[in-house]
Structures are given as structure tokens and as C-alpha cells.
């Protein structure tokens, strides 16, 4: 990936400069990063690292490495413009460098600034047949915290405190508390254990929670009073009314069993927690009222203002971000909080969702 970048620097400025800069980038940045910490290999165990190293070595290198990908498209665009006579005095290699510079600014913002811009979204969700006792019921929905080398526990603690201030009736977390490994199990369980609500805190596993051993994490959570649902359900009762909260295990590791999660439930409003929104279609057939999911991160890289429609996961996930309704069932896909792969968010801010349930107008 550094070859076209080196060519662009060399042909636009000085040949020696391009190759020297590429050599410095690879040796001084890439070699230590890849030798000491396989950054984007999510299946390898994550571990605590000094913050100076993360912020002054790893993040800048990954911003640079990501921006390098636009050098060739920039050169192609410049070549087309030059051949059409649109910019006769502009060398196409300058287009390549301009594209790299613009991308570096965008991705640097996504790596250093966007993660600090937590958004708390308040959504009104209409539920057909919602029992009267649950009118206005509020659920705090967190997802994809991914505590690890790039998401420091102190950052997670701020998210938790912000969600706690909303004083919701129920707190739910739809998977991926960690990125990989077991090194952060105790600290994330400690922070999640600080959440509280009248009807408790509920967690369902995500695929990254199994990139290592999941059971130690689940045990740590349960010891701190968090209810871990793995193809199970329970009921919340208010006066004579009740609502079923069901949760399924991870679909990627083939642990999901929706039938088991819903088996034996009484008739009534059912809220299903599922890390992967792909379960939505099956949930409709099972008469579920509301599905809460995460997993997609809203693409993590998206066009600002159009993230729901233009994001990195749009082609691979039918339900990538926001609210979907069909056949009396509603799916809410959170954009999540942390990272996987590259520690960059563009166009998708980390978010905590506060859902207020109301009965559909036709059922009031």
C-alpha cells in the first residue's frame, strides 16, 4: 500500500523523498506495530497497552495506512481530469497527494475526535398491543462497547455514567463488550456492574465476546448482578400487565436458538435482545414486538448525514442502522460505541439509545 504513496511523493516532489518517507513509515511505524501488536486481527487476544503508544504510534499509523488507500483513486481522477483538459496545469500525482491529505484529515478526525462525541438518542417506539402499565416505559440500549487497546476503560466508564443519568426503567447491552481475549473481562464487568435500573441490567453475547473464552466474562457479569440471557427469557410485571424480555446467544458461533429463547413464554408484548439484527426476519414469524440489536456499528465508516443508507456494511447487512418496521414488529439497530478493525469512526458517532415505548395509536 505504500508503493503508490511513495511514487506520488517522488514524482510530485523528489524521487528520494517518496522512497525515504515510505521506508520511514514502514520501519518506524509499521514494523513495531505489527511485531508487537497485531492491531486489526480481531481474533487475536487484545491486551492493555500504554496510552502513549496507542495515541502516538498506533492510531497515527492506522490513519496514515487508511489514507494511503485513496492515493490510486486520486491519481486516476487526476489523470481523467488532465486528459479531458479540465486541469491542464495540474500533474495527476498532485491529485493523488491531495486525495491522501484530505483522507488523512477525515480519518484523523474519525480516530481522535469522533469517539469523544457521544450521542444520546431518544426514540419513541410504537408497540402494537403494548399493555397500559408499560406506556412510556424507557429502555437504555447500549451495544458494542469493545473495551480494549483502542477503547480505554475510562472511556467506557464515561459512557456508562452518561447512560445511568438517563434513569431508564431497564438497561440492556446487546453484545460485544470486548474486542477479543480475556484480559479486559474483569474491568468491563466492573463498569457494567455500575449500571442499575428498577428492572435490572440485561446482557446478551456478541460474536467478539467469544473471541477468547466467553464464560469467564459471563460469570463476572452475573456476580455483579447483570442478567445474562443466552436463549432465555424472563418477565417484567407491573400491576396486572407483563412484558417478556428474551435474549438469544451469538449467531456467528452458531449458539443462537430463538425457539429455546421464546419457548414457554406467555402471550403478550415481547422484547427480543439479539446482537446480530439478522434475526429480525425470524423474530417477525415468532410474533416478537421489538428487537434490539447492534453488531454493524452503522458501518463505522459512513457518509455523514446519510449513514443509514451509505455505510461500509450496507451491502453485507440488510439491516445496518436505525429503525425498521414490518408486520407489527420493530427492529432498532444501534450504531454502537466502540471499534472493531480500524479504530476509526466517520459519519457514525458512538451512541446510547433511550427508547420510550408507547402503544400504537390503533391499539390505544
On whether both 128 and 72 belong to a single domain, the answer is no
**pLDDT of residue 363 exceeding 70:** no
- Residue 343 vs residue 75, higher pLDDT: 343
- The tens digit of pLDDT for each residue in 203-258 reads 999 999 999 888 999 999 999 999 999 999 999 999 889 999 999 999 999 999 99
Q: Which of 112, 136, 161 is the last residue before a domain boundary? A: 112
Q: Which of 97, 112, 127 is the last residue of a domain?
A: 112
20 pLDDT more than 90: no
**Percentage of residues of the chain with pLDDT beyond 70:** 94
> Quick one: 123 and 59 in the same domain?
no
Q: Which residue has the higher pLDDT, 97 or 282?
A: 282
- Could you tell me if 162 and 93 lie in one domain? no
- Assess whether 175 and 43 both reside in one domain: no
How many domains, the chain?
2
90, 149: one domain: no
User: Is the same domain home to 8 and 41?
Assistant: yes
Which CATH number do you get for residue 135? 3.60.21.10
Q: Could you tell me what percentage of the chain is helix, strand and coil, using 3-state DSSP and rounding each to the nearest 5?
A: 40, 20, 40
Q: Answer yes or no: do 168 and 246 share one domain.
A: yes
Same domain, 33 and 52: yes
Q: Is residue 334 a contact partner of residue 95, using CB atoms and an 8 Å limit?
A: no
pLDDT in tens, 300-355: 999 999 999 999 998 889 999 999 999 999 999 999 999 988 899 999 999 999 99
Q: Given this model, what pLDDT does residue 49 score?
A: 87
Q: What pLDDT, on the 0 to 100 scale, is given for residue 34?
A: 62
Look at residue 88 in the predicted model and tell me its pLDDT. Answer: 61
Do 191 and 296 fall within a single domain?
yes
Residue range 51-70, pLDDT digits in tens: 998 899 889 988 998 999 99
Instruction: For residues 32-54, give the mean pLDDT.
Output: 68
Tens digits of residue pLDDT in 83-139:
777 776 667 788 888 899 999 999 999 999 999 999 999 999 999 999 999 999 999
What pLDDT score does 233 carry?
98
* Segments forming the whole domain that contains residue 89: 2-112
The pTM of this model reads 0.92
Boundary (domain end) residue, out of 74, 94, 112: 112
The answer to whether residues 22 and 101 belong to one domain is yes
236 and 301 housed in the same domain = yes
Q: Does 303 lie in the same domain as 191? A: yes
Highest mean pLDDT: which range of 66-80, 84-98, 149-163, 350-364: 149-163
pLDDT band at 33 (very low <50, low <70, confident <90, very high): low
Amino acid at each position: 500500500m505504500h508503493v503508490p504513496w511513495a511514487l506520488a511523493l517522488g514524482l510530485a516532489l523528489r524521487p528520494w523523498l517518496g522512497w525515504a518517507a515510505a521506508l520511514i513509515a514502514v520501519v518506524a511505524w509499521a514494523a513495531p506495530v505489527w511485531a508487537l501488536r497485531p492491531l486489526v486481527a480481531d481474533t487475536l487476544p487484545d491486551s492493555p497497552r500504554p496510552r502513549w503508544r496507542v495515541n502516538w504510534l498506533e492510531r497515527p499509523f492506522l490513519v496514515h495506512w487508511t489514507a494511503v488507500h485513496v492515493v490510486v483513486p486520486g491519481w486516476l481522477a487526476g489523470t481523467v481530469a488532465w486528459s479531458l483538459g479540465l486541469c491542464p496545469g495540474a500533474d495527476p500525482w498532485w491529485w493523488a497527494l491531495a486525495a491522501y491529505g484530505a483522507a488523512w484529515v477525515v480519518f484523523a478526525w474519525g480516530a481522535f475526535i469522533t469517539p469523544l462525541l457521544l450521542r444520546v438518542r431518544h426514540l419513541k417506539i410504537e408497540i402494537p398491543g403494548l399493555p397500559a402499565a408499560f406506556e412510556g416505559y424507557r429502555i437504555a440500549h447500549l451495544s458494542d462497547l469493545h473495551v480494549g487497546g483502542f477503547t480505554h476503560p475510562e472511556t467506557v466508564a464515561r459512557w456508562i455514567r452518561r447512560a445511568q443519568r438517563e434513569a431508564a426503567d431497564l438497561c440492556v447491552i446487546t453484545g460485544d463488550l470486548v474486542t477479543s481475549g480475556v484480559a479486559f473481562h474483569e474491568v468491563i464487568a466492573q463498569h457494567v456492574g455500575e449500571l442499575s435500573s428498577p428492572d435490572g441490567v440485561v446482557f446478551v453475547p456478541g460474536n467478539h465476546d467469544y473471541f477468547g473464552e466467553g464464560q469467564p466474562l459471563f460469570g463476572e457479569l452475573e456476580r455483579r448482578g447483570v442478567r445474562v440471557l443466552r436463549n432465555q427469557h424472563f418477565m417484567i410485571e407491573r400491576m396486572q400487565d407483563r412484558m417478556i424480555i428474551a435474549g438469544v446467544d451469538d449467531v456467528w458461533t452458531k449458539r443462537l436458538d430463538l425457539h429455546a429463547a421464546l419457548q414457554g413464554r406467555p402471550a403478550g408484548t415481547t422484547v427480543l435482545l439479539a446482537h446480530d439484527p439478522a434475526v429480525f426476519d425470524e423474530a417477525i414469524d415468532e410474533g416478537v414486538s421489538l428487537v434490539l440489536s447492534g453488531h454493524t456499528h452503522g458501518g463505522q465508516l459512513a457518509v455523514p448525514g446519510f449513514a443509514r443508507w451509505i455505510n461500509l456494511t450496507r451491502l453485507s447487512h440488510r439491516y445496518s442502522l436505525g429503525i425498521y418496521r414490518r408486520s407489527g414488529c420493530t427492529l432498532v439497530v444501534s450504531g454502537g460505541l466502540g471499534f472493531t478493525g480500524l479504530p476509526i469512526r466517520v459519519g457514525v458517532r458512538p451512541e446510547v439509545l433511550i427508547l420510550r415505548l408507547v402503544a400504537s395509536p390503533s391499539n390505544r
